């Protein structure tokens, strides 16, 4: 191993919510052989954002320490869908959609993981061939009592909300993944702890040494309130341009900067504390730069910082900005409803929110404010739309 045991423990515990026991982790590391580190992901969406990279970065840390990283693509578990945190049954995905998502997912995780040192497995390899008898034998090793202890299941049960029998099978399938790959450590978000513990129980029941369950917090989005999610419009995508990444990172509230430094960068915590103690803006610029450098080169990071300064300090439009496409069906004599135009950016979650933003003077087209939420505004390809005090720019294109 490239470091001693205590140094490894210090590195892998950074930012974690829980590790089943430090004693177990140290005992496994003391064997002096590479550990099998498991991370399972269900390809339920085509794109990943920084929230997804929290666990990926932890897996990369284990890679850099010389351990064997195993990424399990849940192409079979995705057919059921993880019930964690859900108050209703998840609609099933089609196999073709799962395959499309898996292809783009693997392309994007390569921005974080060392793909040359990564073992990629699909759990359909071992889950699909199981006979019903084999499934029953595995199910006999776990109990409904343990499953119903989960907050999501217990709340649904108390509120008389239906729980599909197949949903009980999800933790079993994820646990069996750990048995098949003989995982020493499994990484997951803190909402996955019960699933990870199921893996320990099934390993013990099948005669294996139990995996260490290592969980990390869910990253709060750029709004500083809800978890990062594309559906909430508070995400930073790993495939976004350096300018988009930098600008979004600069909008992160001061109160969550330390979490972002901890979970998304390798900056030493002593240095982070020093940055936060001096001036929030200095710290935020460093944070934005570190995030961009994780996915782009130094030249791109410098250019993104320069463009952000130009926009915020001198109120200039950035050289790069995302496009929003207005379909011809949205236009009436070359005009579009301003609320609809704002909605196309994804910044607002409802027409009501868009109307309030417009009425408050937070929307401009080509530097001209639009304050009437009922206005039909004339637009042309190449026009610039500016949203909010943080000056989010979009270039209009016509579909």
Alpha-carbon distances of 29 from 6, 114, 181, 206, 216, rounded to whole Å: 9, 21, 18, 22, 20
pLDDT, residue 315, reads 63
Quick check: 349 pLDDT over 60? yes
Q: What is the pLDDT of residues 103-130, one digit of tens each?
A: 888 889 999 999 999 999 999 999 999 9
Quick check: 179 pLDDT over 90? yes
Coil/strand/helix, residue 229: coil
pLDDT, residue 24, reads 93
pLDDT, residue 85, reads 63
Residues whose CB is less than 8 angstroms from the CB of residue 329 and which lie 6 or more positions away in sequence, other chains included:
none
Helix, strand, coil percentages for the chain (3-state, nearest 5): 50, 15, 35
Q: Where are the alpha helices (DSSP H) in the chain?
A: 5-13, 22-29, 50-64, 77-80, 95-109, 124-127, 132-139, 144-148, 151-158, 165-181, 193-205, 242-249, 257-264, 269-278, 280-293, 298-314, 338-343, 351-359
CA nearest neighbour of 64 among 153, 143, 1: 1
The chain-wide mean pLDDT, for the chain, equals 88
- Decide whether 5-216 matches 230-314 in CATH topology: no
pLDDT, residue 307, reads 87
pLDDT, residue 161, reads 84
pLDDT confidence tier of residue 316, bands split at 50, 70 and 90 = low
| Distance of alpha carbon 389 from the chain centroid | 26
Domain ranges of the chain: 5-216, 230-314, 323-398
Alpha-carbon distances of 50 from 91, 230, 364, rounded to whole Å: 25, 11, 29
Quick check: 177 pLDDT over 90? yes
**Distance between CA atoms of residues 73 and 41, nearest Å:** 5
Q: What is the pLDDT of residues 281-290, one digit of tens each?
A: 889 999 999 9
Quick check: 2 pLDDT over 60? no
Quick check: 42 pLDDT over 80? yes
What is the pLDDT averaged over residues 328-336? Answer: 84
Following DSSP, what letter does each residue of 194-221 receive, concatenated?
Answer: HHHHHHHHHHHHTTPPPPEEEEEPPPB-
Quick check: 90 pLDDT over 70? no
Q: Which two tokens stand for residue 176?
A: 């069996």
The answer to whether residues 196 and 215 touch, using CB atoms and an 8 Å cutoff, is: yes
**Distance between CA atoms of residues 157 and 151, nearest Å:** 10
CB 88: neighbour CB atoms within 10 A? Answer: 12
Classify burial at 64, counting beta carbons within 10 Å of its beta carbon; exposed 0-12, middle 13-18, buried 19 or more.
middle
**CATH class (in words) of the domain with range 323-398:** alpha beta
Q: Is 81 left (phi over 0), alpha (psi -120 to 50) or beta?
A: left
Tell me what percent of the residues of the chain surpass a pLDDT of 70.
95
What is the pLDDT averaged over residues 17-36? Answer: 90
Quick check: 382 pLDDT over 70? yes
What is the pLDDT averaged over residues 230-244? Answer: 88
pLDDT, residue 1, reads 46
Look at the domain 230-314 and name its fold.
Tyrosyl-Transfer RNA Synthetase (1.10.240)
**Distance between CA atoms of residues 171 and 193, nearest Å:** 11
CA angle 217, 219, 220 (to 5 degrees): 125
Which residue in this structure is represented by tokens 């990283």?
69
DSSP designation for 178: H
- Return the top range by mean pLDDT from 41-45, 116-120, 187-191, 273-277: 116-120
pLDDT, residue 265, reads 94
Quick check: 258 pLDDT over 50? yes
Quick check: 89 pLDDT over 80? no
Quick check: 226 pLDDT over 50? yes
Quick check: 71 pLDDT over 80? yes
Query: What's the CATH number of domain 5-216, 3.40.50.620, 3.40.630.10, 3.40.50.1860, 3.60.10.10?
Result: 3.40.50.620
- Return the top range by mean pLDDT from 4-18, 64-78, 334-348: 64-78
pLDDT, residue 182, reads 97
pLDDT, residue 347, reads 84
Q: What are phi and psi of 130, to 5 degrees?
A: -60, 135
């Amino acid at each position: 191993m490239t470091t001693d045991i205590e140094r490894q423990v210090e590195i892998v515990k950074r930012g974690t919510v829980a590790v089943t026991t430090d004693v177990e982790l140290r005992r496994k590391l003391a064997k002096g052989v590479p550990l099998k580190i498991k991370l399972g992901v269900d390809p339920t969406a085509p794109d990943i954002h920084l929230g997804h990279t929290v666990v990926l970065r932890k897996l990369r840390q284990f890679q850099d320490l010389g351990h064997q990283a195993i990424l399990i693509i849940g192409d079979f578990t995705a057919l059921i869908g993880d019930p964690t945190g859900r108050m209703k049954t998840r609609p099933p995905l089609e196999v073709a959609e799962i395959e499309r998502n898996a292809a783009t997912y693997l392309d994007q995780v390569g921005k974080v993981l060392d793909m040359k040192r990564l073992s990629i497995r699909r759990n359909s390899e071992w889950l699909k061939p199981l006979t019903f008898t084999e499934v029953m034998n595995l199910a006999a090793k776990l109990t409904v009592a343990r499953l119903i202890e989960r907050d999501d299941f217990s709340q649904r049960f108390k509120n008389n909300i239906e729980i599909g029998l197949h949903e009980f099978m999800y933790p079993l399938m994820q646990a069996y993944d750990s048995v098949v790959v003989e995982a020493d450590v499994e990484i997951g978000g803190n909402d996955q702890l019960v699933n990870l513990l199921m893996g320990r129980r099934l390993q013990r029941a099948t005669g294996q040494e139990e995996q260490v369950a290592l969980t990390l917090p869910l990253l709060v989005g750029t709004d500083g309130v809800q978890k990062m999610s594309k559906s909430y419009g508070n995400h930073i995508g790993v495939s976004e341009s350096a300018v988009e990444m930098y600008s979004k990172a600069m909008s992160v509230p001061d109160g969550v900067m330390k979490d972002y430094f901890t979970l998304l960068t390798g900056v030493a915590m002593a240095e982070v504390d020093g940055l936060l103690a001096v001036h929030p803006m200095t710290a935020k610029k460093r944070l934005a730069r570190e995030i961009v450098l994780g996915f782009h080169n130094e030249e791109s990071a410098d250019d993104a910082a320069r463009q952000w300064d130009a926009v915020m300090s001198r109120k200039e439009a950035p050289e790069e900005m995302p496009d929003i496409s207005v379909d011809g069906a949205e236009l009436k004599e070359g005009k579009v409803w301003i609320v609809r135009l704002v909605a196309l950016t994804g910044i607002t979650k409802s027409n009501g929110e868009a109307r309030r933003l417009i009425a408050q003077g937070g929307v401009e087209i080509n530097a001209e404010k639009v304050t009437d939420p009922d206005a039909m505004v004339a637009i042309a390809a190449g026009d610039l739309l500016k949203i909010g005090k943080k000056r989010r720019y979009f270039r209009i294109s016509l579909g």
